[in-house]
Amino acid sequence: VLKTLNSWFWWENIWMPINCTWADFVDREGLVFPKPQQLYATIPCAFVLLLIRFFLERYVAKPLAKALGIKNVRRVKPQPNPVLESYFQECSRHPSQSEIRGLAKKCNCTVPLVEKWFRRRRNLEIPTVLRKFQEAFWRFSFYLTSSIVGFIFLYDKPWFYDIWQTWVGYPFQTMLPSQYWYYIAEIGFYWSLLLTLGIDNKRKASGDFMAHVVHHLAAIGLMSSSWCGNYLRIGSLVIFVHDTADFWLEAAKMSNYAHWEKTCNVLFIIFAIAFFITRIILFPFWILRATLYQPTYYSTTPVIAYFFFNGMLLTLQGLHLYWGYLIFKILKRFIFLK
């Protein structure tokens, strides 16, 4: 069964133009092609990034936070109680008075003690400001580095200025070393985020955890698929467009945690401008135009991957519009309500 599914998944008509086979993508003089098995390198890369994250959070972000006046608040842990812990995990974090009385009888203790236990246990779930600052610092460091490195990789490439060049010679476009490392690092980063979701700061909304899981898996899937289909030119542009706005948001968060209100406001406005330029203007009118419209000039028979990639990118644009609406509401409130 696995062999059959594997043959279906790697069917040529899914990934490449008509009259092309996988045999055509063997490295030869002057041409180097991306290979699916190379994506295994993203897993060790994720662990390397986790080590870098640990070092930065502990030895750079933590001293910086202390210098900015952000204190490490130590919360009192409740006494170990298997009955209350089981109820907290499986039933409710905010039990009613009748439930508290029932738990008090079951544990042979007073109602105030049970209330105090749940209050302390809930407090443990709330991330400290220091922890939030460390997380924001790591994301800021990666997105800023990725944006700088991405620009260095792309600024001298013809497809960075002329989007039509992303399809010239496709699918026989050689893979550059810069594209290899750019992709491996980005996919490894999202693997690392996926691995740490359980220990990272819990979000306020209960469905936010699953939303992050879906988002990270979709990012990994989209980048991995573009790797297998040799869409590296357009894929690197998609990555660059997204990373260039994100580090401004993380910088605004860090300023907020340090109570630098004016700096936070300025950085958020810069983030909003960068977001609208990259996600609302460049992404649909530059990237999507290249993926939806331009391939028809190079092939009259679109492959299945064409519809898959564009479906994912259109879904991403829907998220951009939703996030843009929320950012606009915040800016409106900021400008008119101070």
- Give me the domains of the chain, ranges plus CATH numbers: 33-68+128-337 (no CATH), 82-125 (1.10.10.60)
Q: How many other CB atoms are there within 10 angstroms of residue 244's CB atom?
A: 22
Contacts 24+ apart (CB under 8 A), 187-190: 187/39, 187/42, 187/45, 187/220, 187/223, 187/224, 188/41, 188/42, 188/43, 188/44, 188/45, 188/46, 188/48, 188/49, 189/46, 189/49, 189/142, 189/146, 190/216, 190/219, 190/220, 190/223
Return the DSSP state at 123. Answer: H
* pLDDT given at position 201: 65
Return the DSSP state at 338. Answer: -
Question: Do residues 129 and 136 lie in contact, with contact meaning Cβ atoms separated by under 8 Å?
Answer: no
Q: What does the alpha-carbon distance between residue 270 and residue 267 come to, in Å, rounded to a whole number?
A: 5
Q: Tens-of-pLDDT digits for all 338 residues of the chain?
A: 777 877 777 777 777 777 788 888 888 887 899 998 999 999 999 999 999 999 999 999 999 999 998 887 777 778 787 888 888 877 877 888 888 888 888 888 888 888 888 888 887 777 788 889 999 999 999 999 999 999 999 999 999 999 999 988 888 899 999 999 999 999 999 999 988 876 776 555 445 666 677 778 888 988 998 998 889 999 999 999 999 999 999 999 999 999 999 999 999 999 999 999 999 999 999 999 998 888 877 765 667 888 888 888 888 888 888 889 989 998 888 888 76
Find where tokens 């991306």 sit.
Answer: 34
Q: What does the alpha-carbon distance between residue 283 and residue 319 come to, in Å, rounded to a whole number?
A: 12
Give the orientation angle of helix 232-257 with respect to helix 261-275, to 10 degrees: 160
* pLDDT given at position 174: 92
Evaluate if pTM is beyond 0.85. no
Nearest alpha carbon to residue 264 among 277, 278, 248, 247:
248
Beta bridge partners of 31: 28
H helices of 57-81, in order, are 62-67
Nearest alpha carbon to residue 320 among 281, 263, 269, 265:
281
* SS3 call for 279: helix
* pLDDT given at position 209: 67
Q: What does the alpha-carbon distance between residue 274 and residue 169 come to, in Å, rounded to a whole number?
A: 32
